[in-house]
Amino acid sequence: MNVTCRDEIKSLQPYKPGKPIADVQKEYGLSHVIKMASNENPLGSSPKAIEALKTAIDKLAIYPDGNATMLKEAIAKKLNIKAEQVLPSNGSDEMVDMISKAYVSHGDEVIMADITFPRYKATTIMMGGTPIVVPLKNWVHDLDAMLAAITPKTKIIWLCNPNNPTGTMFTENELIAFLDKVPDHILVVYDEAYREFVTREDYLHDSMKLLAKYENVLIMRTFAKMYGLAGIRVGYTMGHPDIITDINRIRCPFNVNELAQVAAIAALEDTDFVKECYEVNVAGKLYLYEALEAMGLTFEKSETNHIWIDATRNAQEVFIELQKKGVIIRPFMDTWIRVSIGTMEENKTFIETFKALLAQ
Ligand SMILES: *Cc1c(COP(=O)(O)O)cnc(C)c1O
């Protein structure tokens, strides 16, 4: 084979998604399999979004609005900002990719936590940048160490709050103190994919106030988690209009499809669904805390829809053994696994299956 790819991407591995439920059912001959691996919404999708999608089905022969004008305006209105400060994307995954494409060049340093959302690092490497990886401290972003990692080459700092996969958060005060010290030519991307699940009051619940104060901050959100629209791919980002313009330079013309635009506009108004999902998540979280404590296991208190657990055995083995019994979770390093909070029935099934495994 004489066709070669760019040197920059040779070290990158294709993303390995968890096995779909149907594959696991077939492989192990199971009739019932539950997936608690990808932080998906156990209650399905926003009913308002589904209703709106029915009306969009007739419009698929036509290209979507490439500027997603109605979606931008709906978001701007809801957040009390200007439409020119908003940019929807094909999931926030695509936004991570676009931000790196727009800003990272050879030799640039990009600061991020370890362990955190893996796309920050992959897209940095893709562009020839150097990831500067700062270990979490007690599973929380070590903002002081991230500040200390800034050099004249620093281009972007990625913050995931609350963090995936650890479910931990840093406070509003800590964030403000951090941003006050970051030079304003460095882009800070604040990924709040799990913001709607946060229960603590010292979290920055109204991140829009950052926009007025810090021109170098981008705020990233998604419809994939709380709104249950992971399958349709739609997220949105807020920031200074000049940054939005820069990202638009490299954006694919029709990056957010018609169905995604229609579903997102409807989902934004679905406060009933958000409330229900929040409550189910909190109840599930408290049940899991209690059950894990009773099992004598170590875990992190979660501000998201997933829990970071020390399984006390090799994570990969735990993953395989649970999968054989019809429970799909996500293994990370050493003995640490991430389990998405499900319906109460799913949570109970997970605990029973996990207990049986650890008793073996
Ligand atoms: C799930 C997730 C996203 C990606 O969401 P999509 O909109 O589905 O691409 C972004 N950031 C974090 C931290 C996530 O966990």
Measured in angstroms, how far is the CA atom of residue 213 from the centroid of ligand 1? 25
165 lines ligand 1 (CB under 6 A): no
Average pLDDT of the chain is 97
- DSSP per-residue letters across 240-282: -HHHHHHHHHHS-TT-S-HHHHHHHHHHHT-HHHHHHHHHHHH
Neighbours of 10 (CB within 10 A): 9
Q: What is the pLDDT of residues 154-212, one digit of tens each?
A: 999 999 999 999 999 999 999 999 999 999 999 999 999 999 999 999 999 999 999 99
Contact assessment for residue 297 and residue 312, using Cβ atoms and an 8 Å cutoff: yes
Q: What is the pLDDT of residues 63-97, one digit of tens each?
A: 999 999 999 999 999 999 999 999 999 999 999 99
73 lines ligand 1 (CB under 6 A): no
* pLDDT of amino acid 56: 92
* pLDDT of amino acid 15: 86
**Which of 15, 90, 93 has the most ligand 1 atoms within 8 A of CB, as the residue to mutate?**
93
Q: Is the pLDDT of residue 336 over 80?
A: yes
162 lines ligand 1 (CB under 6 A): no
Among the residues of 60-132, which ranges form H helices?
69-79, 91-103, 119-126
Measured in angstroms, how far is the CA atom of residue 233 from the centroid of ligand 1? 10
Q: Is the pLDDT of residue 106 over 90?
A: yes
Measured in angstroms, how far is the CA atom of residue 348 from the centroid of ligand 1? 26
CA angle (326, 332, 336) in 5-degree steps: 85
Measured in angstroms, how far is the CA atom of residue 357 from the centroid of ligand 1? 30
CA angle (213, 256, 129) in 5-degree steps: 60
Would you place residue 150 in the very low, low, confident or very high pLDDT band (cuts 50, 70, 90)? very high
Q: Is the pLDDT of residue 19 over 90?
A: no
Reference 170, options 159, 181, 157; nearest CA is 159
Measured in angstroms, how far is the CA atom of residue 101 from the centroid of ligand 1? 18
Reference 309, options 344, 346, 276, 358; nearest CA is 358
117 lines ligand 1 (CB under 6 A): yes
Q: What is the mean pLDDT of residues 217-240?
A: 98
Reference 68, options 263, 270, 274, 208; nearest CA is 263
Entry pTM: 0.97
76 lines ligand 1 (CB under 6 A): no
Measured in angstroms, how far is the CA atom of residue 65 from the centroid of ligand 1? 23
